[in-house]
Amino acid sequence: MPQSEISGQSYHEATKHSYLSVQLDPNYVDASTQPSAFKVYPKFYRRLQLNSNNPTHAFISLSSAITFEKVYKDGPYKLRVNPSAGALYPTEVYVQMRGVEGFINGIYHLEVENNCLTLIYELIDDGLESYIIPGKCINGFIFLTSCVYYRSSWKYQNRSARYCFLDSGHHLGAIAASAYLHEKNTQLIFDFDKLSLNADLGFENKEFITGCVISGEAQAKKVRRLRLKVPFVCGTDYFEPNQFIEDVYQATSLQPSRQQQLKHPQFNFEQDKFLEAVWNRRSIRRFQKQSISQESYWRILQAIQQPIATENFEEIEIYAVVHRVEGISPGLYQGTNLIKAGKFSEKTGYLCINQAIAKDSAVTLFFVSAYTNYQTALQIAGFIGQRVYLFSNYWGIHCSGIGAYYDDETQEFLGTNKAVLYAMTIGI
Ligand X SMILES: Cc1cc2nc3c(=O)[nH]c(=O)nc-3n(C[C@H](O)[C@H](O)[C@H](O)COP(=O)(O)O)c2cc1C
Cβ distance to ligand X smaller for residue 86 or 127: 86
Residue 400 sits in the site that holds ligand X (CB under 6 A): yes
Of the candidates 90, 235, 349, 403, which one interacts with ligand X according to CB under 6 A?
Answer: 403
**From CA 421, how far away is CA 167, in angstroms rounded?**
12
CB distance 366 to 420 below 8 Å: yes
Cβ distance to ligand X smaller for residue 61 or 355: 355
Displacement of CA 287 from its chain's centroid (Å) = 24
**From CA 146, how far away is CA 330, in angstroms rounded?**
40
Residue 282 sits in the site that holds ligand X (CB under 6 A): yes
The number of beta carbons lying within 10 Å of the beta carbon of residue 356 is: 14
| Minimum distance from residue 253 beta carbon to ligand X (Å) | 20
Considering only the stretches 13-21, 164-172, 294-302, 332-340, report the one whose residues sit in contact with ligand X under the rule CB under 6 A: 164-172
| Minimum distance from residue 49 beta carbon to ligand X (Å) | 24
Residue 83 sits in the site that holds ligand X (CB under 6 A): yes
Residue 378 sits in the site that holds ligand X (CB under 6 A): no
Q: Residue count of the chain, please give it.
A: 428
Cβ distance to ligand X smaller for residue 43 or 73: 73
Q: Are strands 337-341 and 47-49 parallel, antiparallel or unpaired?
A: unpaired
Residue 261: its H or E element: none
The number of beta carbons lying within 10 Å of the beta carbon of residue 396 is: 11
| Minimum distance from residue 32 beta carbon to ligand X (Å) | 18
Residue 122: its H or E element: strand 116-122
Residue 22 sits in the site that holds ligand X (CB under 6 A): no
**From CA 198, how far away is CA 92, in angstroms rounded?**
13
| Minimum distance from residue 355 beta carbon to ligand X (Å) | 6
Site track 198-237 with ligand X (rule: CB under 6 A), x = hit: ----------------------------------------
**From CA 290, how far away is CA 267, in angstroms rounded?**
28
Cβ distance to ligand X smaller for residue 17 or 206: 17
Rg for the chain (alpha carbons), in Å? 21
Residue 402 sits in the site that holds ligand X (CB under 6 A): yes
Cβ distance to ligand X smaller for residue 170 or 194: 170
Question: Cβ neighbours of residue 25 under 8 Å, at least 6 residues apart?
Answer: 157
**From CA 377, how far away is CA 381, in angstroms rounded?**
6
| Minimum distance from residue 119 beta carbon to ligand X (Å) | 29
Cβ distance to ligand X smaller for residue 201 or 357: 357
**From CA 216, how far away is CA 185, in angstroms rounded?**
7
**From CA 187, how far away is CA 197, in angstroms rounded?**
19
CB distance 275 to 177 below 8 Å: no
Residue 277 sits in the site that holds ligand X (CB under 6 A): no
Residue 117: its H or E element: strand 116-122
Q: Dmax over Cα atoms in the chain, in whole Å?
A: 63
Residue 27: its H or E element: none
Cβ distance to ligand X smaller for residue 85 or 226: 85
Determine the residue type at 274.
Answer: F
**From CA 214, how far away is CA 189, in angstroms rounded?**
8
The number of beta carbons lying within 10 Å of the beta carbon of residue 371 is: 27
Considering only the stretches 79-87, 240-248, 255-263, 324-332, report the one whose residues sit in contact with ligand X under the rule CB under 6 A: 79-87
Of the candidates 260, 283, 305, 306, which one interacts with ligand X according to CB under 6 A?
Answer: 283
Of the candidates 93, 116, 119, 166, which one interacts with ligand X according to CB under 6 A?
Answer: 166
Residue 355 sits in the site that holds ligand X (CB under 6 A): yes
Of the candidates 14, 31, 87, 228, which one interacts with ligand X according to CB under 6 A?
Answer: 87
Considering only the stretches 37-45, 76-84, 208-216, 336-344, report the one whose residues sit in contact with ligand X under the rule CB under 6 A: 76-84
Size of the site for ligand X (CB under 6 A): 19
Residue 84 sits in the site that holds ligand X (CB under 6 A): yes
| Minimum distance from residue 172 beta carbon to ligand X (Å) | 12
Q: Which residue is nearest to ligand X (CB)?
A: 83
| Minimum distance from residue 404 beta carbon to ligand X (Å) | 4
Q: What single DSSP character describes residue 344?
A: -
Task: Note the residues at the interface with ligand X (CB under 6 A).
Answer: 79, 83-87, 163, 166-167, 170, 282-283, 355, 357, 400-404
